[in-house]
Amino acid sequence: MDGGIDDFAAVLDAARQGDDDAAAVLFDAVHPGLLRYLRWHEPRAAEDLAADTWLAVAERLGGFEGDEQAFRGWVFAIARRRLADHRRRSRRRRTTPVAPETLTRIGGGLDPAQVSLEAADAQQAVARLVGVLSRDQAEVVLLRVLAGLGVEEVARLVGKRPGTVRVLQHRALRRLAQAEAARRTPTDGARHRSGRGRRRESPG
């Protein structure tokens, strides 16, 4: 997941004309974040949902207009609709009640308290990033971080005002800073490092 796509308009055009390499640029720029986003929300269905999304993108690529931000927003909008559809279907099918304690587990099935401090794996980093956040805060952070979307696009996707999105992201970041600091202090009962007093950053 690098920074943006160079000359997005040209890449889009070439992909539409059948250029495999250009299509790969679009895919490579968006898919890892898309999959990680979906895996957070629905670990077992994520691959299918991502495939559905790309299929829909492929079918409508000819009609798409916009810059890279608009493209990313469009792809994720499709993905979120598929996600919502999937959840509706799953709820209807569920016949056994879900034990209350499972509902408090963090999404992605990963309990942040058990995720290693070094978070080598991107999906683990995602879990640690949003596991301590409220649902609204988490969604904003996920879309900004994994979809590469700006405040305006996120606001459009989640149906909130940009000002609200800014408040959410601020609170989320503060909450995260607190949580990460708590992990590193020896007085934290759940997880602590033997008092070396030295901060170790996760690999960048």
- Written as one letter, the residue type at 124 is Q
Among positions 7, 10, 13, 55, the unique one binding another protein when judged by CB under 8 A: 55
Pair of tokens at residue 77:
């909008």
Q: Is 129 in the site for another protein (CB under 8 A)?
A: yes
Q: Which stretch binds another protein (CB under 8 A): 34-42, 70-78, 189-197?
A: 34-42
Site string for another protein, 88-117 (x = CB under 8 A): -xxx--x-x-xx--xxxxxxxxx-------
Nearer to another protein, 41 or 79 (CB): 41
Q: In 61-194, which residue ranges form alpha helices assigned H by DSSP? A: 68-93, 100-103, 122-130, 135-146, 151-158, 162-184
> Could you say whether residue 66 binds another protein (CB under 8 A)?
no
Which residue, 77 or 107, has its beta carbon nearer to another protein? 107
Cα–chain-centroid distance for residue 5? 19
Q: Which stretch binds another protein (CB under 8 A): 43-51, 64-72, 73-81, 185-193?
A: 43-51
Please tell me whether residue 65 binds another protein under the rule CB under 8 A: no
- CA distances (Å), 166 to each of 22, 28, 43, 134, in order? 34, 28, 28, 15
CA 83 distance to own-chain centroid: 13
Residues 133-192 that bind another protein (CB under 8 A): 133-135, 138, 141, 144-146, 148, 150-151, 166, 169-170, 173-174, 176-178, 180-181, 183-184
What CA–CA distance (Å, rounded) separates 17 from 145? Answer: 30
